[in-house]
Amino acid sequence: MKPVGEVCAVVNTLEFLAKVKFCARCWSCMVGSAQVSGLLRKLTRGEGVPEDFQLLGLLSFGMKETARCKGGKEAAGVLADLLSSEEYVAHVENRRCPQRSCSGLTTYRVVAERCAMCGLCKQVCPEGAVLGEEYLPYLADNVPYTISAEKCTKCGLCLPVCAENAIELV
Amino acid sequence: MSELVRLQIDGQEVAVPKGVTIIEAAARIQIDIPHLCHLNGLVPSSACRLCLVELEGTKDLVVSCARGVREGMVVWTRTERVLAARRFVLELIWSAHPGDCTTCEKSGRCELQKYTYEVGIERNRFPLRRDEQPIDTTNPLIERNPSLCILCGRCVRICRMRNGNNVFDFVSRGITTRVTTAFEKPLQESGCTFCGSCVSVCPVGSLVERQRRFRGREWELKTTETVCPYCGGGCKLLLDTTKDQIVRARTEKKDDYLCVRGKFGWDYALSKERLKTPLIKKEGTLEECSWDEALSSIAKRLAKIKETRGPEALGGLVSANYPSETLYLFGKFVRAGLGTNNLDSSVRLLSWPTLSGFIQAFGRMDVVATLSEIEAADTLLVLDSEVAVKNPMVGVKVRKALKTPKKGAEGANLITIDSRKTTVAGLSHLHLQPRPGTATVLLDGMIKVILSEGLYDQEFVAANCSNFQEFSARFLEMELDVEAITGVAEEAVLAAGRLYAGQGQKAVIIFSPETSDRHMVARIINLLLLTGRVNGGVFPSLLHSNLWGAAEVGVVSEFYPGYRPVEAATARKELENLWGVSLPSEPGLSAIEMIQAAAESIFGMYILGENPVASFPDKASMVRGLAALDFLVVQDIFLTETAQLADVVLPGVSFAESSGTFTNAEGRVQELNRVLPSQTKPDWEIIAEISTRMGYPLSYHSEREIAAELKTLVSEFSGPRNSAFRLVLTEAEEISAEPDREYPYRLMIGATLFGFGDGSWTRRSEISRLETPYIGMSPQDVQSLGVVAGTRVLVSSRRGRITTTIKVDESLPAGLVFMPAHHPEGNSLTSASLDPVTKSPRFELAAASIDRLQESEPESQCAGDRSLLNLNQTSGIAKWN
Ligand code: SF4
Ligand code: SF4
Ligand code: SF4
Ligand code: SF4
Ligand code: SF4
Ligand code: FES
């Protein structure tokens, strides 16, 4: 597991697109780059479908061929690099974000072995996604802490409160 | 011909002149490279990227609409790589396009639709859409649907090039980029002149004519070529029609020009107010009647007057907006059928000093320049003429001349002499602003410069102007303090004289015949002779469509067709032989004289399409005269102010239902073709039938037959050139009343963009919604009078008074006020004093007073005031002057 914090290549590309200087007078940049961002964002949300990956390929080819300014061609290059990177393949094929920076491709989980059953995460969770009960001694049927994938919005609030580092992202 | 460059496109060799782009070179060998932002005639913008091609030796694809050809280039337009790029661009454009082709007016002619179909894009695969934007319907003529805009920028570029306007521009960036007006204001507040050029060039349905919405799909339209009836420019007009409706007017090439009147003004022809049946006056009111009743009544009553009072008690008056064939037949009917030379037309009021002056001075009309000669001229001298409004096409040519490289110069020199800061004045290198009404003296000043500095064409003058010595001596003796009279500094007059006279330079004088009297014309002729520019040296910007033709076919009292003088016995003989009757030898009365002589020597009149009550000076006396006639026939398409006074009204046809020819201000004869079936009877048929009923049979089967007869009488440009020319010395009279305490302003009446003639057409067109009747005042005058735009005021002259609304007009100098000529009541203020030689009303600036309207004062009737927009909205169109 990679350390949390460093962003993945997909998010990196998104950030690059937001910063790059386009002349913004041809369709490649005006609409093409917006479509790229749209598709990549969809991917980070975990909603990517196989056709999107095709479209991204088309955009990378098309923008390189047709963009009018240097910015556009550069963006096309960055996109092409992304598409051939291992990380991207992980995103698409394994539906996983190795950097855990794409919320849609990440799951929050309580590692039972480390959990001290203090219940702090349950207290901070605004979504009520943490299930389980505080540990009471001599009670045999206590309920361990787990995170409901349906409810969890991946906001990350529970991470810092856990003294045992028992919440992990996969 | 500049040197040729050879290149290869898709394996085909092509040789094209240097400076041509790849896409143009390809077009010459019928290779159509798809394109959306490119349009011939516009500067390339390389925005859409659809025209990319492969160029051997270059890594990247190149933009064929912007890349110039080079010797030896090898270009491929249909390789896999090119096709893939093309498909990508289209798919991307399509991704942001609503694609509502079902109800889009461009469907069938849309360039995006065409290419998308060709490339075979089935559906939009991309996730992101552009936000839909509301459709702009804030003006009556152009509908903007920004959601369909593909940001090609053609509208931005054509407007800038053609009108010098920046109505549209790109705003915002990225996917939110839009093409729109500054601050999203309505077009009429953004300096738009509604030429519709942007509509013509828009490749998609983003800009469309509102008039055509839901009235016919592209593939249902039939196109007929005809001529615009709205000015002497004579633009070719293609009218697209369904069975009995005009749907749209357009040009042949997308980037050809029409002004608002040509592009949008045709709708009057479809007005519900068109007369459909004849009307006859019974007990003081006009009632519908049968054709037979109307025609026999006319024949009977005209014959009776002829019998009891003699043929010279009858008169005929016709508007110069009819085809030459109709005009000729009307003239023949009046002279041969009725037997009188009391025959005249609007030529008298709008261009007679000019046309008669030229024919007298030169013998031949080829002294007049063509529109392309204007474009190619080295120097243009624009006299007292808001050409950009009167003949907008000429305005476009002037603008083009300024950008057309000439030998030793980037473009033409432009000198304007006008008291107003007109649009053209704003483009001038030299703008002389004489006091209103003193331009003639200013021209004298220029002539003096040319004479005293010896700038005239000595060879030409020596060979052709027999009286040069005498003229020059007398002219230089004359006392002339130009600066004192005109208020223009001597140096400016000097500069203008020198610039205009420039040896070896082609110069064209552009002026307004309707405001130029005999004296002004004499000075123009002198300038032409002194500089030897007797071939294409002048352009009379004729206000109406067939003024030239009307003079040529002889609907002016003193000339038979082909400028044959009525007094000349030989000419009369010739016509008597052709027409088979004996013709009267005494000269006839001119237009205004006839009406002034009503009930004294004129008792019956036949008026075809003219509306003296509205368009002749001194309205009160015109009404008095026409009402005093024993019998008045008016043939027109609407129940005009004049028709309301008639005993019988005959419904004629509009330009869209007429065939024949118009001769435009360059002397070009152009075909008018019937576009719609006649709503009533062709005008010439009506005239022929009445004549026949009166015992002078005019039996023609078509306009063509009339044209053939006319051809034997009129030759192009009329007559041979005079063998010698005479310089003319006339003493200009100052006839305009000096402003005084009581009437402190000088009133100028002139043309505007959104009106025409007596206003009877434009008032029934959507274009009139862009202009309410008004009086224009300079900002200074507005301030000192303590009024604002929109204030109702009473305008009085020594003739009469009317009420109207103030508009601030920055082009006017203080003291000069301006009113559109088609103001329904404007001629209540003017006077009909005639020049003794030309019998035209003298152009005068009436002295006027303007007072804020008191609540209690009754408003005068403003028939034309049917504007739907309030004044605040229209004041933004203040650009016309
Ligand atoms: S990430 Fe947020 S929503 Fe999910 S369990 Fe932790 S606190 Fe709750
Ligand atoms: S602009 Fe063209 S593609 Fe768009 S809806 Fe209209 S016809 Fe269809
Ligand atoms: S109608 Fe003419 S003036 Fe108006 S925006 Fe279009 S091109 Fe410009
Ligand atoms: S409105 Fe039409 S012409 Fe103008 S930029 Fe949009 S698509 Fe092009
Ligand atoms: S310039 Fe004259 S002829 Fe041409 S469209 Fe305008 S009104 Fe018609
Ligand atoms: S047509 Fe060449 S870039 Fe648009």
pLDDT for B855: 62
Residue B805 is given by DSSP the state E
Q: Using the 3D structure, point to which of A62, A92, A122 is the last residue of a domain.
A: A92
Question: Do the domain assignments include residue A18?
Answer: yes
**How far does the centroid of ligand 6 lie from the alpha carbon of residue B47, in Å?**
6
Q: Are B55 and B75 in contact (CB under 8 A)?
A: yes
Q: Does domain B281-350+546-647+654-700 have CATH number 3.40.50.740?
A: yes
Helix count and strand count (H, E) for chain A: 8, 4
Q: When comparing pLDDT for B406 and B469, which is higher? A: B469
pLDDT at B735 over 80: no
Q: Are B52 and B61 in contact (CB under 8 A)?
A: yes
Fold (topology level) of B126-270: Alpha-Beta Plaits (3.30.70)
Give the number of whichever ligand sits closest to the CA of residue A126: 1
What's the pLDDT band for B702 if we cut at 50, 70, 90? very high
Which CATH number goes with the domain that contains A85? 1.20.1440.230
pLDDT for B862: 42
Query: What CATH number does the domain located at B745-866 have?
Result: 2.40.40.20
Name the residue with tokens 């065409």.
Answer: B114
- Three-state secondary structure of B276-311: CCCEEEECCEEEECCHHHHHHHHHHHHHHHHHHHCH
For residue B104 and ligand 2, the question of a CB distance below 6 A is answered with yes
Q: Which residue of B has its CA nearest to A51?
A: B125
pLDDT digits (tens, 9 = 90+) for B353-362: 999 999 999 9
Question: Do the domain assignments include residue A45?
Answer: yes
pLDDT for A86: 87
pLDDT for B694: 96
* Cβ pair B92:A31 closer than 8 A: yes
Q: Name the nearest CA neighbour of A76 among A96, A56, A48.
A: A56
What's the pLDDT band for A102 if we cut at 50, 70, 90? confident
pLDDT for B869: 33
Please give the average per-residue pLDDT across B459-485, as a whole number: 93
Mutate to test the pocket of ligand 2, among B102, B124, B148, B213 (most ligand atoms within 8 A of CB): B148
**How far does the centroid of ligand 4 lie from the alpha carbon of residue B143, in Å?**
12
Q: Are B167 and B188 in contact (CB under 8 A)?
A: no
Atom of ligand 1 nearest to the CA of A127: 3
pLDDT at B859 over 60: no
Considering the domain architecture, whether residues A87 and A112 belong to the same structural domain is answered as no
Question: Do the domain assignments include residue A98?
Answer: no
Which CATH number goes with the domain that contains A143? 3.30.70.20
ipTM computed for the complex: 0.77
Q: When comparing pLDDT for B879 and B514, which is higher? A: B514
Please give the average per-residue pLDDT across B835-853, as a whole number: 90
Atom of ligand 3 nearest to the CA of B196: 1
What's the total number of domains in chain A?
2
Q: When comparing pLDDT for A67 and B651, which is higher? A: B651
Q: Using the 3D structure, point to which of A60, A92, A124 is the last residue of a domain.
A: A92
pLDDT digits (tens, 9 = 90+) for A3-53: 445 788 888 899 898 888 877 778 888 888 889 999 999 888 888 888 888
**How far does the centroid of ligand 5 lie from the alpha carbon of residue B610, in Å?**
20
Considering the domain architecture, whether residues A60 and A130 belong to the same structural domain is answered as no
pLDDT digits (tens, 9 = 90+) for B685-701: 999 999 999 999 999 99
> What is the pLDDT of chain A when averaged over all its residues?
85
pLDDT for B632: 98
**How far does the centroid of ligand 4 lie from the alpha carbon of residue B276, in Å?**
42
* Cβ pair B174:A68 closer than 8 A: no
> What is the pLDDT of chain B when averaged over all its residues?
92
Out of A32, A42, A68, the one facing B127 most closely (by C-beta) is A42
Instruction: Provide the shortest C-alpha distance from residue A24 to chain B (in Å).
Output: 6
A14 contact B CB<8A: no
Please give the average per-residue pLDDT across B624-632, as a whole number: 97
pTM assigned to the model: 0.89
Which architecture, in CATH terms, is B4-78?
Answer: Roll (3.10)
pLDDT for B880: 29
B131 contact A CB<8A: no
Residue nearest ligand 4's atom 3 by CA? B202
**How far does the centroid of ligand 1 lie from the alpha carbon of residue A5, in Å?**
17
Q: Are A21 and A61 in contact (CB under 8 A)?
A: no
Quick one: how far is CA B676 from the chain centroid?
23
Select from A37, A44, A66, A74 the residue whose CB has the most chain B CBs within 10 Å, as the one to mutate to test that interface.
A66
Considering the domain architecture, whether residues A13 and A80 belong to the same structural domain is answered as yes
pLDDT for A3: 41
**What are the C-alpha distances in Å from A4 to residues A1, A43, A97, A106?**
9, 19, 11, 11
Ligand 6: list residues with CB < 6 Å.
Answer: B 35-38, 46-51, 63, 65
B53 phi and psi, to 5 degrees? -135, 170
Domain ranges of chain B: 4-78, 126-270, 281-350+546-647+654-700, 353-540, 745-866
Select from B51, B55, B128, B173 the residue whose CB has the most chain A CBs within 10 Å, as the one to mutate to test that interface.
B128
Question: Do the domain assignments include residue A75?
Answer: yes
Q: Are B137 and B766 in contact (CB under 8 A)?
A: no
Please give the average per-residue pLDDT across B509-537, as a whole number: 95
Range of the domain at A58: 9-92
pLDDT for B2: 67
pLDDT at B871 over 70: no
Q: Which residue of B has its CA nearest to A24?
A: B174
pLDDT for B870: 32
* DSSP calls for B555-585: -BTTEEGGGEETT-HHHHHHHHHHHTS----
Considering the domain architecture, whether residues A21 and A88 belong to the same structural domain is answered as yes
CA–CA separation, B510 and B805 (whole Å): 31
What's the pLDDT band for B455 if we cut at 50, 70, 90? very high
Question: Do the domain assignments include residue A142?
Answer: yes
* Cβ pair B48:A38 closer than 8 A: no
What's the pLDDT band for B865 if we cut at 50, 70, 90? very low
What's the pLDDT band for B845 if we cut at 50, 70, 90? confident
pLDDT digits (tens, 9 = 90+) for B215-271: 999 999 999 999 999 999 999 999 999 988 999 999 999 989 999 999 999 999 999
**What are the C-alpha distances in Å from B5 to residues B73, B405, B446, B652?**
9, 22, 47, 57
Ligand 5: list residues with CB < 6 Å.
Answer: B 228, 230-231, 233-235, 258-259, 261-262, 391-393
What's the pLDDT band for A153 if we cut at 50, 70, 90? confident
Out of A24, A55, A68, the one facing B126 most closely (by C-beta) is A55
Considering the domain architecture, whether residues A88 and A19 belong to the same structural domain is answered as yes
User: What length is written for chain A?
Assistant: 170
**How far does the centroid of ligand 1 lie from the alpha carbon of residue B631, in Å?**
99
pLDDT for B99: 84
Indicate left, alpha or beta for B184 from its phi (over 0: left) and psi (-120 to 50: alpha). Answer: left
Q: Are B27 and B5 in contact (CB under 8 A)?
A: no
What's the pLDDT band for A140 if we cut at 50, 70, 90? low
Residue B877 is given by DSSP the state G
Question: Do the domain assignments include residue A71?
Answer: yes
Question: Residues near B307 by Cβ (< 8 Å), separated by ≥ 6?
Answer: none
pLDDT for B1: 52
What's the pLDDT band for B191 if we cut at 50, 70, 90? very high
Contacts of A65 in chain B (CB under 8 A): 52, 60-61, 81, 84-85, 88
Considering the domain architecture, whether residues A88 and A16 belong to the same structural domain is answered as yes
Q: Are B435 and B486 in contact (CB under 8 A)?
A: yes
pLDDT for A139: 66
Considering the domain architecture, whether residues A37 and A60 belong to the same structural domain is answered as yes
**What are the C-alpha distances in Å from B551 to residues A22, B313, B585, B725, B832?**
62, 23, 19, 22, 21
Q: Which residue of B has its CA nearest to A18?
A: B174
Residue type, B88: F
Question: Do the domain assignments include residue A102?
Answer: no
Q: Using the 3D structure, point to which of A92, A126, A150 is the last residue of a domain.
A: A92
For residue B443 and ligand 4, the question of a CB distance below 6 A is answered with no
pLDDT digits (tens, 9 = 90+) for B267-293: 999 999 999 999 999 999 999 999 999
Name the residue with tokens 């529970």.
Answer: A158
pLDDT digits (tens, 9 = 90+) for B207-217: 999 999 999 99
Mutate to test the pocket of ligand 5, among B258, B655, B880 (most ligand atoms within 8 A of CB): B258
| Poorest-pLDDT segment among A98-112, B77-91, B340-354 | A98-112
Q: Does domain B353-540 have CATH number 3.20.20.70?
A: no
For residue B365 and ligand 3, the question of a CB distance below 6 A is answered with no
* Cβ pair B48:A27 closer than 8 A: yes
Question: Do the domain assignments include residue A86?
Answer: yes
Q: Are B640 and B763 in contact (CB under 8 A)?
A: no
